[in-house]
Amino acid sequence: RFCIPRRTYTQSHLDYVAEKLADVMKRSEEFQGFEVVEQAKVLRHFTARLKPYTA
Segment 3-13, tens digit of pLDDT: 778 788 889 99
CA 28 vs CA 7, 9, 23: distances in Å: 31, 26, 9
User: Would 38 be classed as within a structural domain?
Assistant: yes
User: Would 39 be classed as within a structural domain?
Assistant: yes
> Range of 45's domain?
31-55
Q: Give the mean pLDDT of the chain.
A: 87
User: Would 16 be classed as within a structural domain?
Assistant: no
User: Would 22 be classed as within a structural domain?
Assistant: no
Of 53, 21, 18, 17, the residue nearest 35 (C-alpha): 53
Q: Give the residue ranges of the chain where pLDDT is below 50.
A: none
Q: Give the model's pLDDT for residue 38.
A: 93
Q: State the total domains in the chain.
A: 1
C-alpha 27/C-alpha 19 separation (Å) is 13
- Model-wide pTM > 0.75: no
